[in-house]
C-alpha cells in the first residue's frame, strides 16, 4: 500500500471547496459564504481521521453532497451548510447540542432530520423501511431534509464501486425501490434518471453494459439525425422572432430497458431512443401561448401522432412539472419525441421543488407539489406500526400517473390512475371516506369500486351508520385511503378483541384453567395465530368453537406422550424431512446447509446467480438475483437476505419456462418437440400453443439440468425454420 500524500489531499480538499463556492456563487452573499466556510471548517476537523471504503478522505463525501445540493438541485446557503455537516453528529464526537450552539435552531432542525436513526427497532420490521419512514416524517416540516438526503444517496451511488457485492445490491435495490420514485415525485428528473441508471448498473450489470455500449455505437449517427431534424425548426423559430434553445438528448438506459421489457422488443426496435427539447424565453403571461406557437411550427414540418400529445401546461403534474410533449414522424420514418416548455418550466423540471420556491408568488397557480405534501401529511403523521406496510402504501402515490376529477361544485382534484370512487371520497376528507355509502359519477349511481376516468364529476353519498370494511382494501389505490381504512379496522378489531378476551377468560374459568401469560402463549401456538390481538379477535367473532377450546385444555392437562402425539399428527400434518442429506444450495460464507424452497416467481436453476430470502411462513425461498421481485425484497427486507450459491449436483432437474414466437407452418410444433425430446432428451412438464393470423406463440415448461444446458437447447430451437424469438419467462408474485 502506497503512503498517503497528505499535502496533495489538502490541496484537493481546497479545490473541491472552491468548486463548491463557484457552484453557489449566483445565490450567496458575503454572509452566506461565511456560514458555508464555518460549516466546512467544522466538517474538515470532525472527519480528519476518517476515510471512505475507497481509501479517500471522508470529507470528500460531504463536500460532494453539498456540491450536488447547490449545483444540481439549486439549494441555498443553509442547505449547503447542512449538507457539509450531515454526517458530523452521526459519525464523530460532536453532539447535536454542539451544532445548535454553533449554528442555531434552523440548521439543527435539518441536521436532526438528516441524522440517521440509531435506535434498535423491532426485529419484525425492516430497518431500511423504518429509517425511510422516519425520514419522510420530516417532509411536512422541511422538504430540504429530503432534498439533501437525495443528494447524499446520489453521491453514494456514484461511488458504489468500492463497496462489497452484497452491499452494492442492497443499496442499489433500495435506491430503485424508494429513492428514485421520491426524486421523481419531487420533480428532480435528472437525479431520478441518474439514480435509476446507477441502480440498474449494480442490480443488472450485463443489461446496463449492453444498452450503454449500443447507445455509444449509435452516438454519431444519432447526432447527425438530430441536426437534420432541428434545422427547419430553427429557421422558422428565428423567422418568427422567438428566442429559444434546442437540445437533443438520449433516453436513459433504465427507460430504454423498461420499454424493451414492457413491449418485449429488442434495443433496435425501440424507436424513440432520444428526445428533442425546445426551451422558449418567454414572459410568464405569454409562456402558454408561446409554447403552443412552437408546437404549431414543429407540426408544420413533421406530422404528429395524435395519441401521443401530452398537455401539462394547462394542468401541471402533481410534482409541479409543466411541459408540452408530442411525438412526431421525423426524417427516414423515425418517431421523435419533442418537449416544448418555457425557461421557467425548464428550471422547475430540472431543479424540482427548489426551483418551485424561486417562482412562488410569481404565478397565480397554486403549487400541485405543495398540495401533494399537504395531502400526505396525515399519512406521515399516522403511519401503520409496520414500516414495510407503510412504505408499500406510500410508494403507491410516488410513481403513479394522474387523472383529474371534478367535485359537484367544479373543484378539481388530482388522483393516481386507477383510483376509485372510494379513493375520491377519502381525497375530499377522511370522514367522508369512512362514512362513504355510495357515489354518483356523471349523475349515475356507481359502486364504490368504480374506477374513475379523467374529467369525471363525482358526488359522494354518506351515512353515519356506514363503517369501513376489510373488502375496501381490495380496490382502493391511494395511500391516504389505505391508511385510514386500516386504522379504522384496527380500532374495530381491538374493540372486538377486548370482548373476545372476556369470553375466553370466562370459558377457561369454567374449564378450571386460569388465563395468564403462559396460557395465552400456549393458546397462540395451539391456534396458530401471530399475536394475542389475533387470538382474542378470533374468540370475539366466534371463530373458535367451544369444542376446539376444550381440545386445547385436554392437551394442556394431558401427559407428555399425548402432547408429542398431537404436535406430530394434529391437522393431518407430519414433520417434514430435512434436506441436509441433499446438498444442492449452500448459504453464507460458512456454506451452511439449510432447508429451502425454489421461488415460483423466477424458477432458479443450477448456474443462475441466486440469493436466499427468509419468509415468515415458508422458510428460506431461493430467488434469482435478477428476479422481478428482488429489488423490493432487498430494499424492504435486507436483514432477511442470505448469500446463496449452487454446488455440483448435475443429476437434479429444475423447472424452466421458455416462450417461443415465430411464423406458423405445418409441422413446426413437431420439429420443436423433436428437438426437445429426441435430440436433447428433455422432459416436457407442460406445453401451451396458440396460432393467430399466421403468428405462432407457445409457452413450454421443461425439466432441465442447468443454465448452460438451457442455452444449448435454445440455440438448437433457434435454428428451426420459422422460429423468430425464444426467451425465458418468469412469474410475478
Domain count, the chain: 5
Q: What is the pLDDT of residue 119?
A: 34
Nearest alpha carbon to residue 474 among 449, 445, 491, 446 = 449
What does the H/E/C string look like for 687-700?
EEEEEECCEEEEEE
The answer to whether residue 581 scores a pLDDT higher than 50 is no
Q: Which of the two residues, 636 and 298, has the higher pLDDT score?
A: 298
DSSP of 299-336, one letter per residue?
HHHSEE-GGG-EETTTS--TT----EEEEEE-GGG-EE
Pairing of strands 641-646, 620-624: unpaired
Q: Note whether 11 and 145 are same-domain residues.
A: yes
Lowest model confidence (mean pLDDT) among 42-46, 408-412, 547-551, 656-660: 408-412
pLDDT tens string 658-686? 888 888 777 777 788 888 776 666 667 77
**Host H or E run for residue 341:** strand 335-342
Q: Note whether 248 and 161 are same-domain residues.
A: no
How many CA atoms does the CB half-sphere of 173 hold within 13 Å? 23
Q: Which of the two residues, 384 and 708, has the higher pLDDT score?
A: 708
Residue 614 belongs to some domain of the structure: yes
- Answer yes or no: are the C-beta atoms of 520 and 488 closer than 8 Å: no
DSSP of 664-721, one letter per residue?
--TTHHHHHHIIIIIIS--EEEEEEEEEETTEEEEEEEEEESBHHHHHHHHHHHHTST
pLDDT tens string 420-453? 999 999 988 889 999 998 899 988 888 899 999 8
Lowest model confidence (mean pLDDT) among 12-21, 522-531, 587-596: 587-596
Tell me which residue range forms the domain holding 497: 487-572
- Look at the block and give the residue holding cell 449452487: 646
Residue 266 DSSP SS3: coil
- Look at the block and give the residue holding cell 406445453: 687
Q: Note whether 189 and 247 are same-domain residues.
A: no
Residue 499 belongs to some domain of the structure: yes
Domain boundary residue, one of 358, 373, 393 = 358
State the Cα–Cα distance between residues 297 and 278, nearest whole angstrom.
11
Q: Note whether 54 and 161 are same-domain residues.
A: yes
- Answer yes or no: are the C-beta atoms of 480 and 379 closer than 8 Å: yes
Q: Note whether 177 and 75 are same-domain residues.
A: yes
**Host H or E run for residue 403:** strand 402-406
Nearest alpha carbon to residue 380 among 394, 397, 396 = 394
CA angle centred on 263, ends 262 and 267, rounded to 5°: 100
Q: Note whether 18 and 61 are same-domain residues.
A: yes
- Answer yes or no: are the C-beta atoms of 139 and 122 closer than 8 Å: no
DSSP state of 606: B
Nearest alpha carbon to residue 319 among 252, 272, 375 = 375
Report, as residue numbers or ranges, the catalytic residues.
Answer: 90-91
Instruction: Report CA dihedral (668, 669, 670, 675) to the nearest 10 degrees.
Output: 90
Residue 451 belongs to some domain of the structure: no
pLDDT tens string 111-168? 877 764 333 333 344 445 555 665 565 554 567 888 888 899 999 999 998 888 888 8
| C-alpha cell belonging to residue 288 | 402558454
Q: Note whether 41 and 185 are same-domain residues.
A: yes
Share above pLDDT 70 across residues of the chain, in percent, rounded to a whole number: 82
What does the H/E/C string look like for 452-513?
CCCCCEEEEEECCCCCCCHHHHHCCCCHHHHHHHHHHHHHHHHHHHHHHHHHHHHHHHHCCC
Q: Note whether 144 and 230 are same-domain residues.
A: no
Q: Note whether 554 and 524 are same-domain residues.
A: yes
- Answer yes or no: are the C-beta atoms of 527 and 538 closer than 8 Å: yes
Q: Note whether 342 and 237 are same-domain residues.
A: yes
φ, ψ of residue 448 in degrees (nearest 5): -60, -25
pTM (whole model) above 0.85: no
Domain boundary residue, one of 548, 572, 596 = 572
State the Cα–Cα distance between residues 394 and 404, nearest whole angstrom.
20
Domain boundary residue, one of 203, 228, 256 = 203
Amino acid at each position: 500500500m502506497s503512503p498517503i500524500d497528505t499535502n496533495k489531499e489538502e490541496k484537493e480538499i481546497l479545490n473541491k471547496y472552491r468548486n463548491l463556492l463557484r457552484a453557489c456563487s449566483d445565490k450567496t452573499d458575503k454572509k452566506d459564504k461565511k456560514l458555508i466556510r464555518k460549516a466546512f471548517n467544522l466538517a474538515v476537523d470532525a472527519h480528519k481521521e476518517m476515510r471512505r471504503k475507497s481509501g479517500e478522505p471522508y470529507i470528500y463525501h460531504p463536500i460532494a453532497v453539498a456540491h450536488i445540493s447547490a449545483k444540481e438541485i439549486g439549494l441555498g446557503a443553509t442547505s449547503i451548510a447542512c449538507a457539509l455537516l450531515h454526517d458530523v453528529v452521526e459519525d464523530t464526537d460532536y453532539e447535536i447540542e454542539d451544532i445548535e450552539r454553533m449554528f442555531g435552531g434552523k440548521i439543527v432542525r435539518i441536521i436532526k432530520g438528516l441524522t440517521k436513526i440509531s435506535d434498535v427497532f423491532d426485529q419484525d420490521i425492516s430497518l431500511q423501511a423504518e429509517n425511510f419512514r422516519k425520514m419522510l416524517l420530516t417532509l411536512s416540516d422541511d422538504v430540504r431534509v429530503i432534498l439533501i438526503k437525495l443528494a447524499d444517496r446520489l453521491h453514494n451511488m456514484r461511488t458504489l464501486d468500492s463497496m462489497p457485492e452484497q452491499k452494492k445490491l442492497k443499496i442499489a435495490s433500495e435506491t430503485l425501490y424508494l429513492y428514485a420514485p421520491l426524486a421523481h415525485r419531487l420533480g428532480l428528473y435528472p437525479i431520478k434518471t441518474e439514480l435509476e441508471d446507477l441502480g440498474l448498473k449494480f442490480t443488472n450489470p450485463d443489461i446496463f453494459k449492453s444498452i450503454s455500449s449500443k447507445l455509444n455505437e449509435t452516438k454519431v449517427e444519432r447526432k447527425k439525425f438530430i441536426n437534420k431534424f432541428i434545422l427547419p425548426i430553427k429557421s422558422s423559430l428565428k423567422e418568427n422572432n422567438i428566442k429559444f434553445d434546442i437540445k437533443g438528448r438520449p433516453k436513459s438506459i433504465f427507460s430504454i430497458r423498461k420499454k424493451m421489457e414492457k413491449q418485449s422488443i429488442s434495443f433496435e426496435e425501440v424507436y424513440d431512443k432520444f428526445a428533442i427539447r425546445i426551451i422558449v424565453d418567454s414572459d410568464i403571461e405569454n409562456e402558454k401561448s408561446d409554447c403552443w406557437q412552437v408546437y404549431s411550427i414543429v407540426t408544420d414540418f413533421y406530422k404528429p401522432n395524435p395519441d401521443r400529445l401530452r398537455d401539462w401546461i394547462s394542468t401541471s403534474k402533481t410534482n409541479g412539472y409543466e411541459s408540452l410533449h408530442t411525438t412526431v414522424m421525423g426524417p427516414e420514418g423515425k418517431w421523435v419525441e419533442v418537449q416544448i416548455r418555457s425557461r421557467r418550466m425548464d428550471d422547475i423540471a430540472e431543479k424540482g421543488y427548489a426551483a418551485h420556491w424561486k417562482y412562488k408568488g410569481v404565478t397565480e397557480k397554486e403549487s400541485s407539489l405543495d398540495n401533494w405534501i399537504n395531502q400526505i401529511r396525515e399519512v406521515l403523521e399516522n403511519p401503520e406500526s409496520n414500516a414495510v406496510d407503510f412504505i408499500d402504501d406510500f410508494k403507491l402515490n410516488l410513481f403513479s400517473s394522474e387523472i383529474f376529477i371534478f367535485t359537484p361544485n367544479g373543484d378539481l382534484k388530482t388522483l393516481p390512475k386507477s383510483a376509485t370512487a372510494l379513493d375520491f371520497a377519502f381525497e375530499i376528507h377522511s370522514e367522508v371516506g369512512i362514512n362513504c355509502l355510495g357515489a354518483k359519477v356523471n349523475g349515475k349511481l356507481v359502486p364504490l369500486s368504480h374506477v374513475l376516468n379523467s374529467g369525471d364529476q363525482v358526488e359522494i353519498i354518506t351515512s353515519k351508520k356506514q363503517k369501513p370494511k376489510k373488502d375496501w382494501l381490495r380496490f382502493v389505490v391511494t395511500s391516504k385511503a389505505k391508511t385510514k381504512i386500516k386504522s379504522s379496522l384496527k380500532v374495530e378489531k381491538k374493540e372486538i378483541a377486548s370482548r373476545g378476551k372476556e369470553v375466553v377468560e370466562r370459558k377457561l374459568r369454567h374449564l378450571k384453567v386460569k388465563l395468564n401469560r403462559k396460557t395465552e402463549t400456549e393458546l397462540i401456538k395451539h391456534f396458530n395465530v401471530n399475536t394475542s390481538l389475533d387470538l382474542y379477535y378470533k374468540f370475539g367473532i366466534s371463530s373458535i368453537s367451544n369444542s376446539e377450546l376444550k381440545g386445547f385444555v385436554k392437551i394442556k392437562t394431558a401427559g407428555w406422550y399425548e402432547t408429542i402425539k398431537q404436535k406430530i399428527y394434529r391437522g393431518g400434518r407430519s414433520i417434514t424431512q430435512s434436506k441436509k442429506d441433499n446438498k444442492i444450495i449452500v448459504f453464507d460464507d460458512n456454506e451452511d446447509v439449510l432447508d429451502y424452497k425454489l421461488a415460483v416467481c423466477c424458477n432458479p436453476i443450477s448456474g443462475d446467480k441466486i440469493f436466499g430470502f427468509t419468509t415468515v411462513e415458508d422458510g428460506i425461498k431461493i430467488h434469482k438475483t435478477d428476479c422481478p421481485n428482488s429489488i423490493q425484497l432487498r430494499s424492504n427486507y435486507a436483514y432477511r437476505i442470505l448469500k446463496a450459491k449452487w454446488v455440483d449436483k448435475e443429476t437434479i432437474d429444475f423447472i424452466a419456462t421458455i416462450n417461443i414466437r415465430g411464423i406458423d407452418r405445418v409441422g413446426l410444433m413437431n420439429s420443436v418437440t423433436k428437438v426437445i425430446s429426441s435430440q436433447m432428451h428433455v422432459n416436457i412438464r407442460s406445453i401451451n400453443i396458440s396460432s393467430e393470423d399466421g403468428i405462432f406463440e407457445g409457452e413450454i415448461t421443461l425439466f432441465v439440468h442447468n443454465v448452460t444446458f438451457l442455452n444449448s437447447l435454445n440455440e438448437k430451437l433457434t435454428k428451426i425454420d420459422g422460429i423468430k424469438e425464444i426467451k425465458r419467462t418468469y412469474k410475478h408474485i
